Amino acid sequence: MVSNKKRLYVALYPSGVTNNEERSEVPGVRYHVKNSPFTGWVYEEVPLANVRSTVNLLVRVLIAKVEDEKRLVEIFRNISVVQNDPEWRCRTWLANALDAIKVDGKAVGTSELDWSKIEKVAREYVATKVASGRYERGVDLKLPKPTWDMLAEKEIVP
């Protein structure tokens, strides 16, 4: 039986990491922080028509099944955005969000929320794609991107 639960992904981009939530046709929202030279670090919620094919996305990593989307979004919105700390990055925000999701215990069900494990798997997955030439050829940048399922520990063929 196929589940209709939304999924939470960590998405790796060349300039950093953001996270995406998706459905089957894959409209979704990118929840992330970015560093603007004019305003500093800002939190964003960006609706996307198709989270599987944003142009500069390298890979997605499935990390959780969403149980309560409203609760999850509130967690994201309440994670501190730090200014003027040269050590603070989008990865810091994401690690803090994952910790808050874990403490909450109700926003997601089956999950892998350990940032150190997620980051290691995600970086290794990107490295395998780089080694295979995934980003060198004239691949259509609008095609679905490589996806790793941390819950099943296998690649999901887009």
What pLDDT, on the 0 to 100 scale, is given for residue 128? 94
CB atoms within 10 A of CB 135: 12
Kindly give, in sequence order, each residue whose CB lies less than 8 Å from that of residue 62, ignoring residues fewer than 6 positions away.
Answer: 7, 8, 9, 147, 148, 149, 150, 151, 156
pTM: 0.86
Q: Which helix (H) or strand (E) segment is 69 a member of?
A: helix 69-77
Report the share of the chain in percent with pLDDT over 90: 63
What pLDDT, on the 0 to 100 scale, is given for residue 130? 86
Backbone conformation region of residue 157, classed left if phi is above 0, alpha if psi is from -120 to 50, else beta: beta
Among 41, 117, 121, CA closest to 84:
41
Q: Domain limits of the chain?
A: 7-156
Between the CA of residue 73 and those of 30, 85, 139, what are the distances in Å? 11, 25, 33
pLDDT tens-place string over residues 52-68: 767 678 899 999 999 99
**CA separation for the pair 118, 122 (Å, rounded):** 6
Kindly give, in sequence order, each residue whose CB lies less than 8 Å from that of residue 48, ignoring residues fewer than 6 positions away.
Answer: 20, 27, 28, 29, 30, 54
Q: Average pLDDT for residues 102-131, to the nearest whole number?
A: 96
- 24 pLDDT exceeds 90? no
Report the share of the chain in percent with pLDDT over 70: 83
What pLDDT, on the 0 to 100 scale, is given for residue 72? 98
What pLDDT, on the 0 to 100 scale, is given for residue 139? 61
**CA separation for the pair 49, 76 (Å, rounded):** 20
Between the CA of residue 42 and those of 24, 81, 102, 112, what are the distances in Å? 29, 7, 23, 26
Averaged confidence pLDDT in the chain: 87
**CA separation for the pair 7, 110 (Å, rounded):** 10
What pLDDT, on the 0 to 100 scale, is given for residue 53? 67
pLDDT tens-place string over residues 119-149: 999 999 999 988 988 877 666 666 778 999 9
- Crossing angle of the two packed helices 90-104 and 69-77, in degrees rounded to 10: 130
What pLDDT, on the 0 to 100 scale, is given for residue 14? 80
